Amino acid sequence: MDKLSILLTALCLPCFNGQALESIPSSSVLKKPQEALSLSCRGTGFDFSQYGMHWLRQPAGKTLEWLGLIYYDASKTVYASSVQGRIEITRENSKSLVHLRLSTLKPDDSAVYYCARITQLLQEAERLYKNRKPRVHSNRQGAAEDHNSLAAF
């Protein structure tokens, strides 16, 4: 039976003031189709309970795909239609953890998985948008970059 490759590697882009997101587990895993995938991400160096958290993935050779988010207080989750019914995102603020569970795995689920803080995701989206437009205005100097921590799985 075919196996799915799920890459689990910690990545920090760039981290400031000791802020980081750590992947759990921190190594690659292989899963069979129809199995379930469970990933976790631990935040350190910031008040985890004050930030919404996102999960994303990037299959080999493809663009980044947003999977879902959980509000800072776990009051609401929002999921992408592509994984609706198979995904669950939960969090444990007391342990600074966010969890992803993806059930009934398919070959298309083979990817590098990321967790991201909401402010970081918005900053990255803004950076990508700015880089796609012709440069009419000079870039802002001194923009806050202390939220740029990612964990890759």
| 100 part of a folded domain | yes
| 141 part of a folded domain | no
| 140 part of a folded domain | no
* Residue 40 tokens, joined: 């976790």
| 137 part of a folded domain | no
45-94 confidence digits (pLDDT tens): 888 898 888 898 888 899 889 999 999 999 999 999 999 999 999 999 99
Element (H, E) at 112: strand 111-117
pLDDT of residue 44: 85
Cα distances from 122 to residues 64, 92, 129, 148, in angstroms, run 14, 23, 10, 10
- Indicate the number of domains in the chain: 1
The CATH number covering residue 96 comes to 2.60.40.10
| 125 part of a folded domain | yes
User: DSSP code of 84?
Assistant: T
Predicted TM-score (pTM) of this structure = 0.71
Segment 103-115 shows an average pLDDT of: 89
CA 145 – CA 73 distance, rounded (Å): 24
| 139 part of a folded domain | no
List the domain range (segments joined by +) for residue 69. Answer: 4-131+146-152
| 23 part of a folded domain | yes
| 50 part of a folded domain | yes
CA 50 – CA 93 distance, rounded (Å): 9
